[in-house]
């Protein structure tokens, strides 16, 4: 839920700032900046909640904590690249693929009732999927329209 608030809050702030500075609303630019801010926010979680996030993957996957660090770094790289014209399209496609690839981990975490912040198994559970799956699709659509369809 917090990444959604970051995305929308930064988007609205950027819209207002671009209106004040440039005289018009820069929707695509504001969308990219907001997406980048959200990715920085979620990447920080990879470094703060590494143990809990590593529990989002089945036990058979090796180097789970290293995967979490890698995906956090990947999110930071994508966040920067989305703001660079020469890299934004490639980064958007990488982000869409990434969001699709991590969806099973989010589903697994819900099924296991994982609270990744506390690394415990007393989280929201399956009911959260009614929010999480549409949210993931929303992030994919946001990426498409803010970066690829401008």
Instruction: Decide: residue 89, CB within 10 A, 0-12 exposed, 13-18 middle, 19+ buried.
Output: middle
Digit-coded pLDDT (tens) for 78-112: 999 999 999 999 999 999 999 999 999 999 999 99
Domain range enclosing 123:
2-148
State the Cα–Cα distance between residues 127 and 72, nearest whole angstrom: 26
- 44 membership: H or E segment, kind and range: helix 27-48
* Model confidence, pTM: 0.93
Look up residue 27 and give its two tokens.
Answer: 């929707």
Q: What confidence tier does 123 reach under pLDDT thresholds 50, 70, 90?
A: confident
Give the count of domains, the chain: 1
Return the percentage of the chain with pLDDT > 90, whole number: 89
pLDDT at 150 over 80: no
Q: What confidence tier does 116 reach under pLDDT thresholds 50, 70, 90?
A: very high
Instruction: Give the number of other CB atoms < 10 A from CB of residue 84.
Output: 10
The radius of gyration of the chain's CA atoms, rounded to the nearest angstrom, is 16
pLDDT at 128 over 90: no
């Amino acid at each position: 839920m917090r990444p959604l608030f970051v995305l929308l809050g930064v988007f609205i702030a950027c819209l207002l700032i671009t209106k004040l500075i440039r005289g018009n609303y820069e929707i695509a630019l504001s969308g990219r900046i907001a997406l980048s801010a959200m990715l920085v926010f979620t990447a920080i979680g990879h470094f703060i909640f590494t143990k809990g996030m590593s529990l989002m993957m089945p036990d058979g996957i090796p180097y789970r904590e290293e995967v979490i660090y890698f995906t956090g770094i990947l999110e930071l790289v994508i966040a920067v690249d989305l703001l660079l014209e020469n890299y934004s399209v490639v980064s958007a496609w990488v982000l869409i693929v990434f969001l699709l690839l991590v969806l099973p981990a989010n589903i697994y975490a819900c099924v296991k009732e994982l609270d990744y912040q506390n690394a415990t198994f007393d989280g929201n559970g399956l009911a959260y999927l009614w929010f999480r799956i549409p949210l993931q699709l929303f992030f994919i659509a946001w990426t498409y329209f803010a970066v690829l369809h401008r």
